[in-house]
Structure 1
Amino acid sequence: MIPVKSYVGKQVAVLGLGRSGLVAARALREGGATPICWDDNPAAREAAESEGFTCRDLLKQGAFEEVAVLIVSPGIPHLFPKPNPVIVAAQEAGVPVDNDIGLFFQSFATQDWDRFDTMPRVVAVTGSNGKSTTAALIHHILTEGGRDSQLAGNIGRGVLDIEPGGDGSVVVLELSSYQTDLARALTPDVAVFTNLSPDHLDRHGGMGGYFAAKRRLFAEGGPDRAVIGIDEPEGAYLAGQLAEGPRDDRVIRVSVARKLSGPGWQVFAKKGFLSEYRKGRQAGSVDLRRIRGLPGVHNHQNACSAYAACRALGLAPREIESAMQSFPGLPHRSQIIAEADGITYVNDSKATNVDSAAKALLAFGNIRWICGGLEKEGGLDALSGALGAVSKAYVIGREAAGFAMQLDVDSEVCTTMAAAVERAMVEAQEGDTVLLAPAAASFDQYDNFEQRGEDFTAEVLARL
């Protein structure tokens, strides 16, 4: 655990007692603070009280007297679409609001570092799509290379639940816009921006607010190296803001849309080949087509970002390539779950928005596509250019009929996962891919995308 020692002897309010909230309370207590906890869920409060924490309704009169700071879990809105009343009460009382990410960056460095030969470093990954795979791939490459690495944040363990930094160690963090938006301290050594597409717009008041939340990691974090995907205008803008000029190699530009040139530091992928150029000369290359755990252009973008981050940490190109070969991929993200009778079954339940689903659809051929769920803002028009390989769509979800009407491909309303899998498997032929890439949230039928992917996997395996 990372003890939070900046509030020794002070009361700290903790709002939200899920994984990150409870871990924050423990780290604060370990560092000498007195956490005052609250959650609207009685079961969450009971769990906290069983660990000896005091729970107090933070909306009661005088709740913030003697409180130094309010720590908020990432799922709790602080501005849009409407701030949580507890946050409003804290602001009216003049109490600062922070989250566990801010506490981590305040607390990670210690006096023990004075005796280290190599300072611990933090790599932070954000973006709309691919950040989990990118963060996991960086961690995998470091681990395979014998480096001391920990994976945390929005993936793996809570940021304050990891071990203190050791000599030469690296912490790899996946950070969502919810996490970067509120953290009062953001100081990564290497920061990665994968891409940007519309998501969580209600939480951020639109696309500008969403980008601003991501941008904070770079503008306020001041990383030594910034790895920036520049295939969207926002990424190109961010890279331009951070770089002092064309030769500034503190910014590593990444693309899967075009070959990059110039005197700076670039990593790009074209037709399945990753290339690294620095000062106008090629410095490394990787044949990504052979890496089974990274199929499709969207995963090639993840590979480029992870490669660039690892190069910024000093790893050699061949070392990175060797480690990539053994990367298994992540569950629910272009995950090959079975192959039988010449048919491949792929679980990409994490494709919860149109952009990520389109990338999955472009990664495979001869697709029997299982899609549908709780549709997000913006409709499905952006899928039109990604449907060329789709033989048929099998639509699930409570609004399956309406979803199917928007698709410009042959489709069948199945409603349930069981029915969709059964129909797709009956009609699939040798060389086909049965792909779950919903292009929608899961909450109309499932608790989360993981549960949806597990249901798909179970239905497939039960029929093989």
Structure 2
Amino acid sequence: MANKRAPLAVWGFGREGRAALHFLLARRGVDAAPLTLFCRADEAAAAREMAPPERLLIETETPDAGTLAGFDIVLKSPGISAYTPALLEARARGTQVSSGTALWFAQRPDARVIAVTGTKGKSTTSALIAHLARALGVRTALAGNIGLPLLELVQAQADLWVIELSSFQTREAGALELGVITSLYTEHLDWHGSAENYMADKLALADVSQALLVNGTQPDLLERTASHPGRQLFGGQGRWHLADGFICRDADRLFAIAELPLPGAHNALNACAALAALEHMGLDARTAVPALARFQALPHRQQSLGERDGRTWINDSISTTPQATLAALRSFAEDAKVTVIVGGHDRGLDWSEFARAMAEHAPHAILCQGANGQRIARALRAAGVACGEVADLAAAVDAARQHTPAGGTVLMSPGAPSFDQFRDYTARGLRFAELAGFDTAPIRAIDGLGVSG
């Protein structure tokens, strides 16, 4: 006779893990078998405050396959790779692996959902959709990977749900009305294990989306989504697109890109995606267009911190791919004096495209730092591009002060994750602001999370 499995374990004690524990503990009777939490040793004290030992068992060792296979269900946090060998083996042995995202979709099957993913642009597009829907008087929820776990809003009521999903979460979504894919490049190879896994996981959103809205300017994305029966486009040949410096619907010019409080054509495309999404949901997107001028840019996304010592400082810490850094640089005039700081955690991404682009048009200065700084510098020099090489972000900021003339701009757009020096891109952006001499209080939170409208 097979050994009886324990009912449920939660793996991870970040905000998603805590939200899952709150949800589960509130719904389990006091006589139910205890939950098990796998967390770090430095998180155990906080975890013990959530429930007594008879309701919550806390384990601080990383679970192996045998341990995980002893549970019916393991609810994991997004940061734990679904390709972790222990999880894969436990799944093969009959353990169900789930998540807070999957739980929310199971609890709210009737919610009207726009789910947004993409290598870049997903947070801004999600926030734009929510902002514009609220401008039309629609009670709208904004949650998910953008910074508010869905389970924290499991009881909330909204007429429209705008949910950002990372590539770690797209396979966890339930059936939904509209999926949006803003862009598709290779990223997060350390989590997904390969570029093809990443692409497949990202595009899994299409499988649960009744309609699918994709970026019409990306040939590879168009090819990979061509078979979706409900596919629509924004940008390119889409009804909402960019032309002659305007956001347009078909032939109608509706909003000057220069008036958008977000720099760069890529952000204007994000606005097209937001408007097309609203239109698909039956809302009056044309009426919402003027509200674009009132949108507040999200922290750490080409965020102008202001001027210090005659130089403008821009925090683009969210940039974790070379393509994102290229998009940020293209938002500047060709004659702008820009010093760009690149580099961070080395995920093994290819910087050759970036180096070729810099060979054609380089900014005033390029400073390479962090764990992959030396590798980026080698790629640039092989392409004939001069660059500086420093150890870390603090040294890069010091060097930027020396290299950037008065009236110039210092852009921190790393093109790489933060984990070599910081816990996440937010911590990196806050540190950059501190090093540049700015108050970080105004950039510590995203406006608009939750339900309003």
For Structure 1 versus Structure 2, the TM-score category normalised by the shorter chain is: 0.7 to 0.9
Q: Which residue of 2 aligns with 1:377?
A: 348
Q: Which whole-Å CA distance do the structure 2 matches of 1:283 and 1:270 have between them? A: 10
Counterparts of 1:152-171 in structure 2, within 5 Å, are 152-166=143-157, 169-171=159-161
1:434 maps to amino acid? V
Letter aligned with residue 237 of structure 1? E
Deviations 1:154-184 (A, max 9, x none): 1121111015353x62221111111123x2x
Are 2:18 and 1:22 equivalent residues in the alignment? yes
Q: 1:289 aligns with which of 228, 243, 258?
A: 258
User: Equivalent residue for 1:50?
Assistant: 49
How far apart are residue 321 of structure 1 and its match?
1.9
**Letter paired with 1:42:** A
Helix, strand or coil for the counterpart of 2:174?
A: coil
The alignment status of 1:435 with 2:411, answered yes or no, reads yes
* Among candidates 99, 123, 134, match of residue 143 of structure 1: 134
Structure 1 residue 24 displacement after superposition: 1.3
1:201 corresponds to which residue?
189
Q: 1:416 to 1:431 in 2, by over 3 A?
A: same
CA apart distance, 1:69: 2.4
Shift of 1:426: 4.0
Counterpart for residue 293 of structure 2: 325
Secondary structure in 1 matching 2:353: helix
Once the two structures are superposed, residues 302-322 of structure 1 have per-residue CA deviations (whole angstroms, 9 ceiling, x without a partner) of: 112112112222332343222
1:47 is displaced (CA, Å) by: 2.6
Distance 2:350 2:27 in 1: 48
- TM-score, normalised relative to structure 1: 0.81
Q: How has the CA–CA distance of structure 1 residues 136 and 344 changed in structure 2, closer, same or farther, with 3 Å as cutoff?
A: same
Paired residue type of 1:403: I
Does 2:226 correspond to 1:240? yes
State the shift of 1:252 in Å: 2.2
Check if 1:212 corresponds to 2:200. Answer: yes
Q: Is structure 2 residue 168 aligned with structure 1 residue 178?
A: yes
Which residue of the other structure, out of 431, 435, 453, is the alignment partner of 2:429? 453
Residues of 2 paired with 1:195 and 1:364: CA distance?
A: 21
Q: How far, CA to CA, are the matches of 2:263 and 2:123 in structure 1?
A: 15
TM-score with structure 2 setting the length: 0.83
Q: State the shift of 1:372 in Å.
A: 2.1
Alignment of 1:304-453 (within 5 A): 304-339=272-307, 343-365=311-333, 366=336, 367-387=338-358, 388-398=361-371, 400-407=373-380, 408-429=384-405, 431-453=407-429
Q: Structure 1 residues 98, 398: CA separation in 2 closer, same or farther (over 3 Å shift)?
A: closer
The one-letter code sitting in structure 2 at the alignment partner of 1:126 is T
Give the whole-Å Cα distance in 1 for the aligned partners of 2:433 and 2:67.
Answer: 51
Partner of 1:125: 116
Report what 1:274 is aligned to.
247
Task: After TM superposition, give the deviation of residue 358 of structure 1 in Å.
Answer: 0.9
What does the per-residue CA deviation read over 1:295-353, in whole Å, with 9 as the maximum and x for residues that have no partner? 11221221121121122223323432222111121111111111468743211111121
Q: Does 1:89 align with 2:90?
A: yes
Amino acid paired to 1:213 = D
SS at match of 2:297: coil
Change in CA separation of 1:18 and 1:416 when aligned onto 2, cut-off 3 Å: closer
**Percent identity over paired residues:** 30
CA 1:339/1:389 → structure 2, altered by over 3 Å: closer, same or farther?
farther
Change (3 A) 1:445 1:99: same
**In angstroms, what is the RMSD of aligned CA positions?**
2.8
Deviations 1:84-106 (A, max 9, x none): x25533541x2322111111111
Distance 2:146 2:47 in 1: 23
328-337 vs 136-145, greater mean Cα deviation = 136-145
- Whether 2:232 is the aligned partner of 1:252: answer yes
Alignment counterpart, residue 76 of structure 1, candidates 80, 100, 110: 80
CA contact (8 A) 1:70 1:90 kept: no
CA distance in 2, matches of 1:449, 1:382: 23
Give the Cα–Cα distance (whole angstroms) in 2 for the partners of residues 145 and 342 of structure 1: 41
* Alignment deviations for residues 48-97 of structure 1 (CA, whole Å, 9 cap, x no partner): 332114126566978766x5422111122232xx42x25533541x2322
SS in 1 for 2:437: helix
Contact 2:68 2:87 in 1 (8 A): no
Query: Structure 2: how far apart are the matches of 1:462 and 1:63?
Result: 46
1:188 equivalent in alignment to 2:170: no
Aligned to 1:115: none
Q: Is contact 2:187–2:349 with CA below 8 Å preserved after alignment?
A: no
Give the deviation of 1:18 after TM superposition.
1.9
More displaced 10-residue stretch of structure 1: 426-435 or 155-164: 426-435
Pairs aligned (count) = 417
| Alignment-mate amino acid for residue 148 of structure 1 | R
Give the distance between the partners of 1:17 and 1:417, measured in 2 at CA. Answer: 28
Match of 2:450 in 1: none
Task: Output the CA distance in 1 between the equivalents of 2:56 and 2:239.
Answer: 52
| 1:341–1:47 Cα change, 3 Å | closer
Alpha-carbon distance in structure 2 between the residues aligned to 1:124 and 1:402: 36
Runs of 5+ unmatched residues, structure 1: 1-9, 110-118, 244-249
Cα distance, 1:251–1:415 mapped onto 2, change above 3 Å: same
Cα distance change of structure 1 residues 191 and 368 upon mapping to structure 2, 3 Å threshold: same
SS at match of 2:209: coil
Structure with larger RCO (C-alpha < 8 A, sep 6+): 2
SS of aligned partner of 1:190: strand
Shift of 1:108: 1.2
